């Protein structure tokens, strides 16, 4: 069965610090990978996704993620965080063939102090 592990439960950073959130998945076949973000009081929204092609994908608000197939990883990065990045971040995966629902990790809470 597919599963997703997010290594950091709560990350606390100062503004302008660099961010990297770890995500590993367990699935032997082709996968689609996603990062979703939930800002305080708002609904989940897509940050970025990887289906195929360039393993370095760029999303909204300066976020990027790198798919490393050999490590079953899809880590999220941002070179310089802002206070407005305070949110909960979820990594998710589904099987490569279209049609399967997303499996989510437990989430990482990011707190950015100004």
Partner 1 sequence: EAGVAQSPRYKIIEKRQSVAFWCNPISGHATLYWYQQILGQGPKLLIQFQNNGVVDDSQLPKDRFSAERLKGVDSTLKIQPAKLEDSAVYLCASSTRTGSVTYTGELFFGEGSRLTVL
Rounded-to-integer distance, Cα 68 and Cα 60, Å: 20
Q: Are 24 and 8 in contact (CB under 8 A)?
A: no
Contact region with partner 1 (CB under 8 A), list: 58-66, 69-77, 78-86, 104-112: 104-112
Work out which of 34, 63, 67, 74 binds partner 1, going by CB under 8 A: 34
Site string for partner 1, 52-81 (x = CB under 8 A): ------------------------------
57 forms bridges with which residues in the sheet? 65
Q: Is 101 an interacting residue with respect to partner 1 (CB under 8 A)?
A: yes
Rounded-to-integer distance, Cα 68 and Cα 24, Å: 10
């Amino acid at each position: 069965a597919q599963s997703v592990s997010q290594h950091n439960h709560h990350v606390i950073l100062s503004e302008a610090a660099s961010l990297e959130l770890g995500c590993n998945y367990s699935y032997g076949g082709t996968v689609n990978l996603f990062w979703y973000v939930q800002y305080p009081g708002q609904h989940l929204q897509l940050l970025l996704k990887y289906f195929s092609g360039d393993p370095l994908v760029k999303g909204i608000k300066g976020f990027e993620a790198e798919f490393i197939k050999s490590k079953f990883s899809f880590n999220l990065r941002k070179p310089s965080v802002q206070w407005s990045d305070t949110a909960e971040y979820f990594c998710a995966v589904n099987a490569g063939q279209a049609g399967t629902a997303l499996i989510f990790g437990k989430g990482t809470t990011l707190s950015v102090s100004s």
